[in-house]
């Protein structure tokens, strides 16, 4: 009898090992009674918060005095700020991106103005990208904004970047085209979904919305395969932000904008922001990066949701770092007007019937999701 009781106890403990012990925090994200709630484990969150702590800002620098372009040579981005502001920004960037290497990570110590190091050319372009995000994508980053630290967190290369994966062995063989499926990848939570949801949606502009609003055959002509690519992207977004589907969607009607929560609009803008940044800033730098910085197919590292968020629903849990570095906010040190949500077909309140995402014209290259 004792052995039986011990066995039952061990079985019970084994079953409970997969459960999370209370207390668990619940945060309502949508309408009352819809089950749109986020569940958080305070113990897991405590660890996550420590990983998303923003560094203390450097003391403010005077805005008066000579301009950087008049004192330093070959200043192409921050030339209109004061020398003090310029020096402060360089010190901050060093701490954010290359704390171990220091200034020589980007600069030739014999000639700081020289552009022979690829890291300096890339850093200059990344400054412009940061300013663009803060000035033109306020619809996604809001008043929080971004700095180099948002992605780099003290590392030369951000922890979360992506490359196009090489074709799997046996692709397009007599067994058929697997379309990137059935090869569990961390990008899609080790599921059998297509392992590269980034190329079609965060580089190309393939339609993400696959739910029709009319009956077949006149309505939805999308395939199950296309839906699996979309679901792969959603799995990535859920993991990248540390949330579940109800952060944005009402499970009663996933496709309905009228029943969605406000973060869905923010996510809609974020997808388009990531695509724009990859196209306009990262891909053009492909030849600037040396071969050892390229991916297995020769492409450059690109960004996705995890690059900034790194497991937090807001990068650095909403720490407003950008306000402490006005020179990163864009021309004149202040954010420009963000792209209007109405212009992209999305209502800021997500209540307008016309609030539906639209496909953005993209590259003529097509991916496997186009196959029936």
Please, what are the domains in the chain? 54-156+322-332 (1.10.468.10), 160-165+181-213+221-309+340-372 (1.10.468.10)
Averaged pLDDT for residues 43-51: 76
Cα 208–256–272 angle (5° rounding)? 35
Q: What CA dihedral angle connects 86, 129, 235 and 160, to 10 degrees?
A: -50
Alpha-carbon Rg for the chain in angstroms: 24
Averaged pLDDT for residues 316-343: 68
Averaged pLDDT for residues 180-189: 73
Q: Both tokens of residue 190?
A: 């080790």
pLDDT given at position 274: 97
For residue 169, the SS3 value is coil
Q: Which of 114-123, 139-148, 222-231 has the lowest mean pLDDT?
A: 222-231
pLDDT given at position 315: 93
How many helices (H) and strands (E) in the chain? 11, 2
Question: Does 152 have pLDDT greater than 70?
Answer: yes
pLDDT cut 70: percent of the chain above it = 75
pLDDT averaged over the chain? 81
Which of 355, 356, 361, 266 shows the shortest CA–CA distance to 313? Answer: 266
Higher per-residue confidence, 294 vs 250: 294
Question: Does 23 have pLDDT greater than 80?
Answer: no
Averaged pLDDT for residues 91-106: 97
Q: Both tokens of residue 113?
A: 């103005």
E strand or H helix at 27: strand 25-28
Higher per-residue confidence, 66 vs 8: 66
pLDDT given at position 179: 66
pLDDT given at position 89: 96
pLDDT given at position 349: 30
pLDDT cut 90: percent of the chain above it = 51
Give tens-digit pLDDT for 246-281.
Answer: 889 888 888 888 888 889 999 999 999 999 999 999
Q: Which of 39-48, 97-106, 171-180, 252-261 has the lowest mean pLDDT?
A: 171-180
Q: Is the dihedral of CA 216, 219, 220, 221 positive or negative?
A: positive
Highest-confidence segment of 115-129, 229-243, 255-269, 343-357: 115-129
Question: Does 334 have pLDDT greater than 50?
Answer: no
Q: Which of 22-26, 122-126, 323-327, 342-346 has the lowest mean pLDDT?
A: 342-346
Highest-confidence segment of 9-18, 66-75, 355-364: 66-75
One DSSP character per residue, 104-167 reads: GGTSBTTBTT---SHHHHHHHHHHHHHHHHHHH-HHHHTTT---HHHHHTT-SS-SS-B-PPPP
pLDDT given at position 42: 74
Residue for token pair 């212009």: 343
pLDDT interval class at 150 (50, 70, 90)? very high
Higher per-residue confidence, 222 vs 75: 75
Is the distance from CB of 82 to CB of 71 less than 8 angstroms?
no
């Amino acid at each position: 009898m004792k052995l039986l009781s011990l066995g039952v106890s061990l079985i019970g403990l084994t079953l409970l090992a997969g459960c999370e012990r209370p207390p668990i925090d619940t945060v309502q994200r949508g309408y009352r009674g819809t089950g749109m709630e986020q569940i958080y484990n305070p113990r897991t969150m405590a660890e996550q918060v420590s990983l998303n702590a923003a560094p203390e800002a450097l003391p403010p620098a005077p805005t008066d005095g000579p301009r950087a372009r008049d004192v330093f040579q070959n200043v192409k981005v921050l030339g209109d700020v004061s020398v003090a502001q310029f020096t402060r920004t360089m010190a901050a960037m060093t701490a954010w991106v290359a704390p171990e290497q220091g200034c020589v990570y980007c600069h030739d110590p014999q000639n700081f103005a020289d552009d022979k190091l690829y890291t300096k050319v890339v850093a200059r372009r990344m400054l412009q990208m940061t300013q663009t995000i803060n000035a033109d994508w306020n619809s996604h980053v809001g008043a929080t904004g971004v700095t180099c630290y948002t992605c780099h967190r003290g590392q030369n290369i951000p922890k979360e970047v992506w490359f196009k994966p090489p074709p799997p062995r046996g692709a397009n063989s007599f067994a058929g085209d697997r379309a990137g499926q059935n090869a569990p990848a961390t990008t899609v939570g080790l599921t059998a979904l297509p392992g590269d949801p980034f190329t079609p949606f965060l580089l190309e502009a393939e339609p993400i919305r696959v739910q029709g609003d009319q009956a077949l055959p006149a309505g939805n002509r999308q395939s199950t395969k296309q839906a699996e690519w979309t679901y792969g992207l959603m799995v990535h977004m859920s993991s990248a932000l540390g949330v579940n589907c109800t952060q944005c969607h009402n499970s009663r009607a996933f496709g309905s904008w009228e029943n969605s929560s406000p973060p869905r609009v923010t996510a809609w803008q974020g997808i388009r922001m990531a695509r724009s940044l990859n196209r306009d800033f990262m891909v053009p730098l492909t030849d600037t990066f040396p071969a050892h910085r390229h991916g297995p197919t020769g492409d450059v590292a690109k960004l996705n949701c995890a690059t900034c968020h790194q497991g937090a629903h807001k990068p650095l849990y909403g720490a407003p770092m950008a306000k402490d570095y006005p020179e990163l906010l864009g021309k004149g040190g202040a954010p420009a007007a963000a792209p209007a949500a109405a212009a992209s077909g999305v209502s800021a309140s997500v209540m307008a019937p016309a609030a539906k995402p639209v496909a953005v014209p993209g590259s003529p290259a097509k991916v496997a999701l186009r196959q029936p």
